[in-house]
């Protein structure tokens, strides 16, 4: 008799979502998310996609910059994960492809072929003189 029956009261959430007050409360959060998406998230995803495409297109003769700041020329593409880079005359370093931050220049395939042919001819002349 001392304890009376307790009735549960509604929290008011159903009433809050029925009117436009809830939309007005969440509108600033939605606007902030939209601004962050277009100013931060989307450009970063686009830049990452371009960088991935650049790394996939690496080939022999490309001048690259590694994450450590070393500038070199790609000597050989060993595997999808590794690249051999010439950093000085006679010095080759194996580099993980994902550590390459920038591709400085890409040689023209015809010009590279002509340069290699001229180098071979000069080597052959030097051998015949000896």
Say how far apart CA 4 and CA 99 lie, in whole Å. Answer: 72
The CATH code of the domain at 59-129 is 2.30.30
- pLDDT over 60 (residue 63): yes
Phi, psi of 92 (to 5 degrees): -120, 140
CA distance 92 to 80: 18
Which residues are paired to 91 by β-bridges?
Answer: 88
| Percent of the chain scoring above 90 in pLDDT | 49
Predicted local confidence at residue 124, as pLDDT: 83
- Average pLDDT (90-115) is 83
Whole-number pLDDT of residue 119? 80
The band of 25, judged by pLDDT with boundaries at 50, 70 and 90, is confident
Where along the chain do its domains lie?
14-52, 59-129
**CB-based contacts of 114, cutoff 8 Å, min separation 6:** none
């Amino acid at each position: 008799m001392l304890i009376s029956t307790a009735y549960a009261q509604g929290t008011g959430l159903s009433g809050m979502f029925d009117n436009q007050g809830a939309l007005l409360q969440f509108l600033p959060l939605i606007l902030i998310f939209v601004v962050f998406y277009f100013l931060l998230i989307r450009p970063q995803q686009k830049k990452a996609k371009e960088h991935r495409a650049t790394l996939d297109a690496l080939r022999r003769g490309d001048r690259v910059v590694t994450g450590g700041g070393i500038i070199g020329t790609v000597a050989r593409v060993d595997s999808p994960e590794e690249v051999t880079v010439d950093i000085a005359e006679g010095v080759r370093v194996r580099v993980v492809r994902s550590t390459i931050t920038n591709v400085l220049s890409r040689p023209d395939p015809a010009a590279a072929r002509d340069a290699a042919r001229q180098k071979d001819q000069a080597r052959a002349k030097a051998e015949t003189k000896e």
